[in-house]
Structure formats: structure tokens, C-alpha cells
């Protein structure tokens, strides 16, 4: 990585570079902070596809190999997040993706880089039943979490297919690209790129 957080040599020569007869191979162009996430822009996406909701999508992780911390409780267990009560009602979102589709590889993706860390417990809100806390007779204290942006560095792994059904061929995996972004308080900006 360069001292400014940009990429040094982020374009990987894996035999797919060149012009005439070049194979499909999405590459990272640059990345930037986007709200409380990271938006990554890609080149050479024409003819590449991604199988969504499959667990084999392009992914962003910590450069040290770790995953983003998310210790929030399972659905139907309420908690506080950043001072706000979250009922955490069980909905279809609790089960994650349930519809796998093969889509053209996008020109950009935005990744969530928030971590959710428990800082303690707080009294549950009053449910109105004789002044007892804990909605519906739930626990009198519930977990209290804060969200924070993981500052990096990050590692991007690009996974893609070359057929529009995502079933005829194998999934191709580009070598991971590590990068850092300027820490700017979570606002937009702070780009890192490959210089090309």
C-alpha cells in the first residue's frame, strides 16, 4: 500500500490483461468511503456475472483475515443500538437472502464496514404492565450496542462467472487486493485507487 492509502500495483496480472481476445476479468479501479460504508468501483465488467444470495459473491473483509464484528442478538431478541431501542422483530430479513439470481457484474458495489460491539446492558423500556420493564414480560435489562466504522485496511476478493446463467462454468476468483482509505470520520470521500 502507498503511504497515502492508495494501492500500489493493485492491477493484478493473472493472464487476463491485454487487449485483443482478452478474457473477462473484473478488476478494482478505486474505492472510497461512502457514508458509513466503502464503495468499490470496477473496470472490465462487461461479460462478467455475479450469483447473488449465494454466499460466493464478491466480498470485503478485514485485511488481517478477520471478519467484521457483529455481536447483535438473533432475531426476536430486542436490544439498544447507538442509544435507540430496536425491537428486532422476526421478519424475512432475519433469514438473509433467499432468492439466488445471476446478474451482470456491477460497475460499483457498496460494502457495509460497520462493527456492532456490546458495551453493556440497559433497562428495557417500560411495557406499561404495572410499571415493569421488559416488553411482553421480557428481561428487565437488554444488551446495549454501539456501531462503529472499521477504519481498515480492507481486502477485496472478486468472484464472478462468465456465463449469463452462472451455472455452466466455474466461479472465477481474483487474487485478493488489500487497500486502505483515509480515516475521515465516516463521511464520503477518502479514495484509494490503482492509479490507472
Query: Residue 60 is placed in which grid cell?
Result: 470485503
The verdict on pTM exceeding 0.85 is no
Domain borders along the chain are 27-188
Q: What does the mean pLDDT of the chain come to? A: 77
Return the SS3 of 22.
coil
Query: Residue 92 is placed in which grid cell?
Result: 424475512
Mean pLDDT across 1-12: 30
pLDDT at 92: 64
Q: Side by side, which strands form the sheet with 27-34? A: 108-112, 37-43, 27-34, 189-193
Confidence of residue 52 (pLDDT cuts 50, 70, 90): confident
pLDDT at 149: 94
Mean pLDDT across 38-50: 94
pLDDT at 10: 28
Res. 82: pLDDT tops 90: yes
Query: pLDDT by residue (tens digit) across 91-149?
Result: 766 777 778 889 999 999 999 999 999 999 999 887 644 444 555 555 689 999 999 99
Longest dimension (CA), the chain: 76
pLDDT at 126: 75
Mean pLDDT across 12-19: 39
Mean pLDDT across 2-24: 38
Query: In percent, how much of the chain has pLDDT > 70?
Result: 72
Buried b or exposed e, range 63-89, using 16+ CB within 10 angstroms: beeeeeeeebeeeeebbbeeeeebebe
pLDDT at 143: 94
CA gap 80, 70 in Å, rounded: 14
DSSP for 54-80 reads SS-S-EEEETTSPPPPB-PPPTT--EE
Amino acid at each position: 500500500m502507498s503511504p497515502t492509502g492508495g494501492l500500489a500495483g493493485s492491477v493484478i496480472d493473472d493472464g487476463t490483461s491485454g487487449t485483443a481476445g482478452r478474457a473477462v476479468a473484473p478488476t478494482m479501479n478505486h474505492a472510497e468511503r461512502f457514508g458509513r460504508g466503502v464503495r468499490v468501483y470496477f473496470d472490465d465488467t462487461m461479460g462478467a456475472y455475479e450469483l447473488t444470495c449465494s454466499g460466493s459473491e464478491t466480498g470485503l473483509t478485514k485485511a488481517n483475515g478477520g471478519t467484521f464484528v457483529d455481536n447483535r442478538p438473533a432475531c426476536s431478541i430486542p436490544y439498544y443500538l447507538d442509544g435507540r431501542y430496536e425491537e428486532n422483530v422476526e421478519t424475512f430479513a432475519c433469514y438473509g437472502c433467499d432468492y439466488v439470481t445471476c446478474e451482470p457484474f456491477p460497475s460499483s458495489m457498496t460494502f457495509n464496514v460497520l462493527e456492532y460491539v456490546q458495551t453493556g446492558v440497559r433497562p428495557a423500556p417500560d411495557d406499561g404492565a404495572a410499571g415493569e420493564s421488559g416488553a411482553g414480560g421480557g428481561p428487565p435489562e437488554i444488551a446495549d450496542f454501539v456501531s462503529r466504522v472499521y477504519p481498515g485496511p480492507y481486502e477485496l476478493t472478486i468472484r464472478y462467472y462468465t456465463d449469463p446463467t452462472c451455472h455452466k462454468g466455474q466461479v472465477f476468483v481474483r487474487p485478493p487486493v488489500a487497500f486502505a482509505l483515509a480515516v475521515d470520520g465516516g463521511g464520503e470521500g477518502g479514495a484509494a485507487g490503482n492509479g490507472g
